[in-house]
Amino acid sequence: MTMTVKTLIKPSEYHDSVSLMLTARELSKLDGVRDAAVVMATEANKSILAEAGLLTDEVKSATPNDLVIAVSSESESFADAALQKVEGLLKKKTTSGEAGVFQSKTIRGALASHPSANVAVISVAGRYATDEAWDALAHGLHVLLFSDNVSLEDEIALKKYSRDHGLLLMGPGAGTTILNNVALGFANALPAGPVGIVSAAGTGLQEVSTLLARRGVGITQGIGTGGRDLKKEVGGIMMLEAIKALQDDPTTAVLTLISKPPADEVVQLILEQASASDKPTVICFLGGNMDSVSKIPNVIPARTLYECALLTAHGVQSLPTLVAKSGDFAVQTFLDAENASLKEQANELRKKLNPSQRYLRGLFSGGTLCYEAQVIWKDILDNPVYSNAPLLNESALPDSTKSYQHTAVDLGEEEFTVGRPHPMIDNDLRIRRLLQEARDPETAVIMLDVVIGYGAHPDPASELGNTVEEAIRLGRSQKRDLIFVASVTGTEDDPQSLSRTTSTLERAGVIVCNSNSAAARLSGLIVSGKGG
Amino acid sequence: MAKINDIFGKDLTVVNVGLAGMAKSVSDQGVKVVDLDWTPPKDGIPRLRATRSGVSMDAANQEVVSRIKRGQAVLVGMGIAREVIPGMHDHMILHAGPPIEWSRMCGPTRGAVMGALIYEGLALDEKEAAALVEAGAIEFSPCHHHHAVGPMAGVVSPSMPVFILENKTFGNRAYCTQNEGLGKVLRYGGMGPEVYARLKWMETDLYPALDRALQTLPNGIDIKSLIAQAMHMGDECHNRNRAATSLFLRAIGPALARTNKDNEVLARIIEFIDRNDHFFLNLSMPAGKAMLEAAEGVEGSTIVTVMARNGTDFGIRLASMPERWFTAPAGKVQGLYFPQFTEKDANPDIGDSTVTETAGYGGMAMAAAPAITQFVGGTPQMATQNTLEMYEITFGEHENFTIPALNFRGTPLGIDVRMVMETGILPQINTGIAHKDPGVGMVGAGILRAPEKCFSDAFEALGKV
């Protein structure tokens, strides 16, 4: 079949990447259209277009300020029809959104008309984000810097300035923050309560805060610092400042700190600061060595996010007479009992598999959840788990688009999100990958994390559920029973509702566990056969 | 010192810079969100914060805006151009905009120059006038080089009477001719016996009467105050001066009556002013000039203190570089035309009247003048949007000029070259349209934006200081 590629350049026209994606998706649904892209003509996007076979000479000469619409189609007339439609699609977006209300273009302009503004949420492309963050800080705004691709030097300079001026600089790459019980970015509807969380891991903060909420424990603040904060170069500037603030905050009784393993010198700084107050402080350096942590009286180490939430909840409920670490025993007993029942469940499920089905496939939208699962699998599985975001470099997945043996894929990694929305917003990528795994005769268990809440897709369970049903049918047609295990990160008060999301998934045939940790444990036990 | 804890427990107001979805999920929680209409800056536009010698541009701009605000422009008297305007002489003609030689002058300016020479008695007709100029007998100079401003062609010849405005705070003075009215008039390049007769009457009857009246007012007439009042009556004091003209008549009326013996002369003067809604323009312009000039010479400032056009070029000058013009071709005006005229007849943008926008009124204050949109075929909402947009490129807000429709917010003041370049928003200008040929006059009115090149050149120069 011959393909026609047609492109249209609109000079100096800017739209944000999400609306461009939505427009591209509308275009690709049109008759006769095989593929469509609507992107700014940056070098990165040009190489994506080249790979998709959509790079025309016209596009090659476009500048990063130009908008490119590219369509490949079965015939010229279909392509022309699509290009004509695009004007309308883009215009629809601009007119309905702005109905006569003036929108400021600059932070300074916005502040002139809204002097009470106190927080900026910045999600523009990384190369512009630093300047915007400086503007916001200069005007005394706290900043949630959602954007990625901010240089380490810029991050350090921004954070030093923030520290010296009593401001929060949350990020870069901070997806989640809960400030004064307002969810900024990806976050959930949480009750108010005595726990103050500081996290260098976005979905880690979501997982712990929602697990607390399900136990009736609320938070004062949930401050995301961005994933690089605890690197040696940044030195944990923002985590240290946030800890101090929560230690001084009379409404915060218990502190919870979450991160992937920090640099050793930063661990020391954090522990010193944690011991500067009597407030019980639960620390989860996910997958890290917790020996040094356990030596400090008011510090309670946690190995997983789940354990972190249980210890925090226990700490809160034992207040005010909490003796540090008294929670260890009770929580461990509880976990042991829960693990025993997971083993039994795994044993039953394992019977459904045929001998070719040997591998585990984890398809994650949350980076920290992918990481937590690997931490758990390390103890359960004899063979390595390959990943595009591995615990150790030797288990790096050679090709992120193809699974190899046991595989954990973080679909929120940059390699997947350039030019398309995050998998928490858009399920398309995960749907395609899920069917790909289902077709693989070696796949035994497919594990999913389903993150709901503000910022997330309005109904991920329905889209994923439909795909799971399709995958199960596909497996059965080849005489295989596929096992789907998932957990939902969310609360009942979230717009998508925890119970509604859970039951939709269950109806589709997914086994829904009470935490990402439990889901990982169950999946691991099924494929390892270590259920007993 | 501020602490992180200060934000705990406070109501949040969130400024969203980027994805619309982020704004929505916050506003869904009932939290106030200000969603920016963010667009990326043009490639290669750095953020300028200080000069190479370390002068803070913001601090410099603060000083400039403060000086402009503190200026008090008062009409203190009148005089004849050759006697009162510094540097003026018998063979000099001043014109609007940046410097320009005769060969590059546009039709209306040439018309006004020739008309002025005939009015002065230096030439009998256009041919003679043109020959005089071509023989090099006339020296041309921009009004702005002589503390003066002129609307449209802005031609000031030696015998013309001028208003004298004094900035009482800083002591500097500014000058402008009397406004002739609309239609076939000299400043639009109009020529002919009726044009010269009107100019003569303004010299021999109007000027002496106004001058006599002003001499009896020891404190003069506070023009800044009249601008502020008119802004509450639907004027923006560039393209709409109806209320301000009436206020001026009220202010000078008693003194005029007391100092005139002939009631018929008085009646003609009142009629002339009353029939010319733009009479006040020639007071609002030098008022702006007097207030802006006091802010010149502040090192490191990125604020524009001169914007002016000569019908061929558009030029700007900065408070920190008051001697240097940054020019670009003058733009085309989007407007409404008098019957029988079209866009094809229009001369490019012309005149010093952009001094009003520079000083924080005119196009900056369109929200105060919803009726102005009749001129340009827009809606009152559009006028408000225009003013709101101008706040994006101005460093400050005027405390004395306020806009009722914006809850008495001060007008956008102090066009900052950096902000123009960062946002890509160019200053809004309200203006009249002159016919492109000499001798015809005014053909319409409209709006346009200042040309980007002036600002990008100035921005580049700022990056080097």
Residue A374 and residue A519 in contact, taking contact as beta carbons nearer than 8 Å: no
**Which residues share a beta bridge with B446?**
B335, B431
What is the C-alpha to C-alpha distance for residues B406 and B429, in angstroms, rounded to an integer? 20
Round the average pLDDT of chain B to a whole number and report it.
94
What is the C-alpha to C-alpha distance for residues A50 and B423, in angstroms, rounded to an integer? 31
Strand B304-310 and strand B350-351: pairing? antiparallel
Q: pLDDT band at residue A25, thresholds of 50, 70 and 90?
A: confident
Q: pLDDT band at residue A92, thresholds of 50, 70 and 90?
A: low
CA distances to A189, A285, B258 from B254, in Å = 71, 85, 6
CA distances to A93, A112, A235 from A89, in Å = 7, 33, 46
Residue A166 and residue A137 in contact, taking contact as beta carbons nearer than 8 Å: no
pLDDT over threshold 60, residue A100? no
- pLDDT given at position A18: 65
Hey, how many other C-beta atoms are within 10 angstroms of the C-beta on B141? 17
Residues in chain B with CB shorter than 8 Å from the CB of A104 are: 34, 36-37, 388, 391-392
Q: Give percent above pLDDT 70 in chain A.
A: 94
Q: pLDDT band at residue A323, thresholds of 50, 70 and 90?
A: very low
CATH fold for the domain made of B71-285: Enterococcus faecalis V583 fold (3.90.1710)
Residue B425 and residue B393 in contact, taking contact as beta carbons nearer than 8 Å: yes
Terminal Cα distance for chain B, rounded: 34
What is the C-alpha to C-alpha distance for residues A55 and B123, in angstroms, rounded to an integer? 67
- Quick check: A455 and B39 CB within 8 A? no
Q: What is the pLDDT of residues A342-357, one digit of tens each?
A: 999 999 999 999 999 9
What is the C-alpha to C-alpha distance for residues A336 and A293, in angstroms, rounded to an integer? 23
Burial class (CB in 10 A: 0-12, 13-18, 19+), A298: middle
Q: pLDDT band at residue A476, thresholds of 50, 70 and 90?
A: very high
Hey, how many other C-beta atoms are within 10 angstroms of the C-beta on A9? 17
Identify the weakest region by mean pLDDT among A9-13, A211-215, A226-230, A504-508. A9-13
- pLDDT given at position A406: 97
Residue A226 and residue A173 in contact, taking contact as beta carbons nearer than 8 Å: yes
pLDDT over threshold 60, residue A301? yes
pLDDT over threshold 50, residue A97? no
pLDDT over threshold 70, residue A98? no
What CATH superfamily is the domain B58-67+298-462? v583 domain like (3.90.1700.10)
**Which residues share a beta bridge with A120?**
A143, B15
Hey, how many other C-beta atoms are within 10 angstroms of the C-beta on A365? 29
Residue ranges with strand state E in B113-191: 139-142, 161-167, 173-177
Residue B351 and residue B149 in contact, taking contact as beta carbons nearer than 8 Å: no
Hey, how many other C-beta atoms are within 10 angstroms of the C-beta on A75? 12
Residue whose entry in the numeric block shows the structure tokens 């890290």: A288
Give Cα A286 distance to the centre of its chain: 16
Q: What is the pLDDT of residues B107-130, one digit of tens each?
A: 999 999 999 999 999 999 999 999
Q: What is the pLDDT of residues A389-434, one digit of tens each?
A: 999 989 999 999 999 999 999 999 888 877 678 899 899 999 999 9
The residues, ordered by sequence, that sit 6+ positions from A329 with a Cβ below 8 Å of its Cβ are none
Read off the amino acid at residue A429.
L
Residue in chain B lying closest to A116 (CA) = B13
When scoring B10, B36, B45, B395 by the number of chain A Cβ atoms within 10 A, the one with the most, hence best to mutate, is B36
DSSP code at position B202: I
pLDDT over threshold 80, residue A475? yes
Q: Which helix (H) or strand (E) holds B93?
A: strand B92-95
Burial class (CB in 10 A: 0-12, 13-18, 19+), B121: exposed
pLDDT over threshold 60, residue B14? yes
Mean pLDDT of B37-52: 85
Q: What share of chain B is helix, strand, coil (3-state, %, to 5)?
A: 40, 25, 35
Residues in chain B with CB shorter than 8 Å from the CB of A107 are: 15, 17, 36
Strand A281-285 and strand A299-301: pairing? parallel
Residue B427 and residue B331 in contact, taking contact as beta carbons nearer than 8 Å: no
CA distances to A50, A379, B399, B441 from B365, in Å = 49, 70, 13, 27
**Could you tell me which residue, B291 or A109, shows the higher pLDDT?**
B291
Q: What is the pTM of this model?
A: 0.79
Both tokens assigned to A190: 């949480």
Q: pLDDT band at residue B266, thresholds of 50, 70 and 90?
A: very high
- Sign (positive/negative) of CA torsion B118, B123, B128, B134? negative
Tell me the backbone φ, ψ of residue A171, rounded to 5 degrees. Answer: 130, -165
Query: Which string of b and e fits A398-433 if b means at least 16 CB within 10 Å?
Result: eebeebebbbbbbbbbeebbebbbbbbbbbebbbeb
Round the average pLDDT of chain A to a whole number and report it.
90
When scoring B11, B24, B37, B61 by the number of chain A Cβ atoms within 10 A, the one with the most, hence best to mutate, is B37
pLDDT over threshold 70, residue B221? yes
Give Cα A132 distance to the centre of its chain: 23
Nearest-by-Cβ selection for B15 from A110, A147, A183: A110
Residues in chain A with CB shorter than 8 Å from the CB of B423 are: 105-106
Residues in chain B with CB shorter than 8 Å from the CB of A221 are: 8
- pLDDT given at position B21: 85
pLDDT over threshold 50, residue A99? no
Domains and CATH numbers, chain A: 4-98 (3.30.70), 115-334 (3.40.50.261), 339-528 (3.40.50.261)
Nearest one of B317, B408, B418, B426 to B368, comparing CA atoms:
B408
**Which residues share a beta bridge with B74?**
B166, B222
What is the C-alpha to C-alpha distance for residues A140 and B63, in angstroms, rounded to an integer? 22
Please give, rounded to a whole number of angstroms, the shortest distance from the CA of A345 to a CA of chain B. 38
> Domain coordinates of chain B in residue numbers?
4-38, 58-67+298-462, 71-285
pLDDT over threshold 70, residue B342? yes
**Could you tell me which residue, B351 or B336, shows the higher pLDDT?**
B351
Please give, rounded to a whole number of angstroms, the shortest distance from the CA of A348 to a CA of chain B. 42
Residue in chain B lying closest to A192 (CA) = B9
- Quick check: B4 and A140 CB within 8 A? no
- pLDDT given at position A28: 81
Identify the weakest region by mean pLDDT among A147-151, B2-6, B43-47, B426-430. B43-47
Provide ipTM, 2 decimals.
0.82
